[in-house]
A and B are shown apart, each in its own frame.
Chain A
Amino acid sequence: EAGVTQSPTHLIKTRGQQATLRCSPISGHTSVYWYQQALGLGLQFLLWYDEGEERNRGNFPPRFSGRQFPNYSSELNVNALELEDSALYLCASSLDRTGELFFGEGSRLTVL
């Protein structure tokens, strides 16, 4: 069974541009989570989507947004990119509200 898949693996953008990252959860998982992992730091919670709705949001500005599609895949959009947005963006999915998150390999965003 395929795990959580993310694309692209790497993305290079310049300041002010927009980035779109995509995630496909494990088959059967309806919840998708986005986390930011900046260099040397732990994972910071960004967004949680469940059944197509945004359920919770971390302490990030509104230029971080996303959505979940009917097939439960998700995309994360980052507008007006800033240098400090450079990080590994991890997507995770879960089967139900039991706790375990299954992470993807991440998308590394570099903002120049």
Chain B
Amino acid sequence: GENVEQHPSTLSVQEGDSAVIKCTYSDSASNYFPWYKQELGKRPQLIIDIRSNVGEKKDQRIAVTLNKTAKHFSLHITETQPEDSAVYFCAAGSGGTSYGKLTFGQGTILTVHP
């Protein structure tokens, strides 16, 4: 089955700095790569996603890049703010009968210091 590795497990940055979280996946059939943010005691919420026919996607301060050949994708947060502090999860999924069966990484605890 699919296996998703996420690094680093913790990341501490100063406000205004950039943060990068990286994930690798094993199943070449995976074609959907979402990123979820989970604040303490809250539900995971989708912040950005990318599909395998696209190499990069941006949404304001957040961007995701995908390298299908190397089977890795990354989340980039620029101009970090204290409210960006949360646990971030990457995930990989595919369509067909596996739709909805996302395989998640172990999460990255991001702390943004004011």
Which residues, 86 to 110 on A, are CB-close (under 8 Å) to B?
A: 90, 94, 97, 99-106
- A45–B103 contact, CB under 8 A? yes
Which residues, 16 to 66 on B, are CB-close (under 8 Å) to A?
A: 32, 34, 36, 42-46, 49, 51
| Size class of the contact patch on chain A | 20 to 34
How many of B's residues come within 8 Å of A, CB to CB? 28
Taking CB atoms, residues of chain B closer than 8 Å to A100 are: 34, 46, 49
Closest to A45 in B: B101
Taking CB atoms, residues of chain A closer than 8 Å to B106 are: 41-42
Q: Whole-angstrom distance between the alpha carbons of A101 and B100 in the complex?
A: 8
- A105–B43 contact, CB under 8 A? yes
Taking CB atoms, residues of chain B closer than 8 Å to A50 are: 100
- A59–B1 contact, CB under 8 A? yes
Binding site for A on B (CB under 8 A): 1, 4, 6, 32, 34, 36, 42-46, 49, 51, 89, 91, 93, 95, 97-107
Binding site for B on A (CB under 8 A): 3-4, 31, 33, 35, 41-45, 48, 50, 55-56, 58-59, 90, 94, 97, 99-106
What are 7 inter-chain pairs, A to B, with CB distance below 8 A? A35-B104, A43-B104, A45-B102, A59-B1, A90-B44, A94-B100, A100-B34
